[in-house]
């Protein structure tokens, strides 16, 4: 008995083609290199850090611009107080540290700090800097927001400066944990550069008594690649009429279709690409075997892999082979 088999896109069988590039989105290629591509909004996040600062208060005064926890990109301000609000730029709706035209960085950090008030009571502050917002709350119920007296990425235990706040000679302990987020507006161009240090700073209310921890080292290299690839192939696989055969592992039919990968990138800084093309069925693998996609009649497809050096425009032609096999 003959049987006509029509395998259509998403109803029974689905080929998903994935591109894995040497410069992919959301990946740090090596320890001190960040690579981003095209796109807008949040285009990368990573390089986790944990930093702890410990300082002693040398006086009782509280200065909101020079206090518990603040993040300072040294390219924007070589000083040691909080960043002025105007130092950040708005890119894709986010207030960021601009590192290139159309590209900026912002921390996604949590803060915890403890200190001793002038009356001898301990107080704690917990909050965030950068994303989702720069804000905090203390165990006394004080709510801290930004801008803080014209400063940003800056947390203090109160919204206003005051005298006789700390108990002089006691410790301020502050810990920051987080990641870096890169924002783009889609206008970025191919380039490679490094950024100066970004520091997490805690102050003991004296210019000579501050604790610094680098949370983004100056050795960090930023690579922007505009490489973009599109893949097209046949959406319907029609095996036509095949002869009935119930023997296990017998091949009932074999078809070949073209698969085209087209990649483009700017002339300014071309990169090599390592492209892996993989095919997957919505039904998963048959018995966990990577060369066989689970269909009601069974099936097997081998992954395809190629390595190419991409010029400004590259078109790669592959051959997509689909085999229909009796598995049981």
135 and 173 part of one domain: yes
Residues 72 and 200 in one domain: yes
Shared-domain flag, residues 40 and 99: yes
C-beta atoms surrounding 263 within 10 Å: 21
The count of domains in the chain is 2
**Does one domain contain both 182 and 231?**
no
The pLDDT tens digits of the residues spanning 4-56 come to 444 333 323 333 333 333 333 333 333 478 989 888 999 999 999 999 999 99
Q: Are residues 307 and 258 in the same domain?
A: yes
Name the residue among 266, 121, 96 with its Cα closest to residue 183.
96
Out of 76-85, 225-234, 238-247, 296-305, pick the least confident: 296-305
Using CA atoms, how far apart are residues 186 and 183, in angstroms rounded to an integer? 9
Q: 131 with 27: CB under 8 angstroms?
A: no
Place 246 in a pLDDT band, splitting at 50, 70 and 90.
confident
Structural domain span for residue 278: 2-22+227-325
Predicted local distance difference test score (pLDDT) of residue 134: 98
- 3 to each of 21, 241, 244, 253, 289, how far by Cα in Å? 41, 5, 7, 11, 26
Domain-terminating residue out of 190, 224, 258: 224
pLDDT at 316: 43
- Whether the pLDDT of residue 320 is over 70: the answer is no
Helices (H), 6-73: none
- DSSP annotation string for 132-187: S-SEEEETT--EEESSBTTEESEE-SSSS-BSS-B-TT-EEEEEEEEEEEEEEES-
Q: What is the mean pLDDT of residues 162-178?
A: 95
Predicted local distance difference test score (pLDDT) of residue 52: 97
The 10s digit of each residue's pLDDT in 60-92 is 999 999 889 999 998 887 667 899 999 999 999
Let me know whether 90 and 17 are in one domain: no
Where a domain ends, among 199, 224, 249? 224
Per-residue pLDDT tens over the stretch 191-222: 889 998 999 999 988 777 889 999 999 889 99
- Using a cut of 0.85, tell me whether the model's pTM lies above it: no
Considering the domain architecture, whether residues 60 and 153 belong to the same structural domain is answered as yes
Boundary (domain end) residue, out of 224, 248, 271: 224
Query: pLDDT tens digits, residue range 271-286?
Result: 666 666 666 666 677 7
């Amino acid at each position: 008995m003959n049987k006509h088999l029509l395998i259509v896109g998403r109803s029974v069988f689905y080929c998903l083609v994935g591109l894995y590039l040497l410069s992919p989105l959301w990946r740090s290629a090596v320890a001190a290199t960040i690579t981003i591509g095209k796109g807008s909004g949040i285009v990368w996040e990573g390089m986790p850090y944990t930093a702890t600062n410990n300082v002693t208060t040398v006086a009782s005064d509280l200065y909101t611009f020079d206090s518990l926890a603040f993040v300072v990109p040294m390219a924007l301000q070589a000083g040691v107080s909080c960043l002025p609000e105007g130092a950040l730029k708005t890119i894709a709706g986010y207030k960021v540290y601009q590192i290139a035209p159309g590209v900026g960085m912002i921390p996604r950090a949590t803060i915890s700090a403890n200190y001793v008030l002038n009356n001898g009571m301990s107080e704690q502050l917990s909050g965030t800097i950068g994303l989702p917002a720069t804000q905090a709350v203390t165990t006394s119920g004080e709510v801290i927001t930004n801008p803080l007296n014209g400063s940003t990425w800056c947390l203090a235990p109160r919204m206003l400066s005051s005298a006789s706040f700390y108990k002089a000679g006691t410790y301020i302990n502050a810990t920051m944990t987080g990641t870096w987020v890169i924002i783009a507006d889609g206008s970025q161009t191919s380039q490679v550069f490094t950024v100066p240090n970004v520091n997490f700073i805690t102050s003991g209310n004296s210019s000579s008594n501050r604790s610094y921890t680098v949370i983004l080292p100056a050795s960090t290299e930023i690579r922007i690649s505009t490489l973009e690839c599109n893949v097209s192939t046949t959406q319907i696989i029609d095996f036509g009429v095949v002869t009935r055969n119930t023997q296990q592992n017998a091949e009932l039919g074999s078809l070949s279709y073209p698969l085209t990968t087209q990649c483009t990138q700017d002339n300014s800084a071309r990169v090599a690409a390592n492209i892996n093309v993989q095919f997957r069925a919505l039904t998963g693998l048959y018995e966990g075997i990577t060369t066989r996609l689970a269909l009601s009649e069974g099936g097997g497809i081998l992954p395809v892999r190629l390595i190419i050096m991409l010029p400004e425009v590259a078109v790669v032609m592959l051959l997509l082979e689909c085999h229909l096999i009796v598995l049981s």
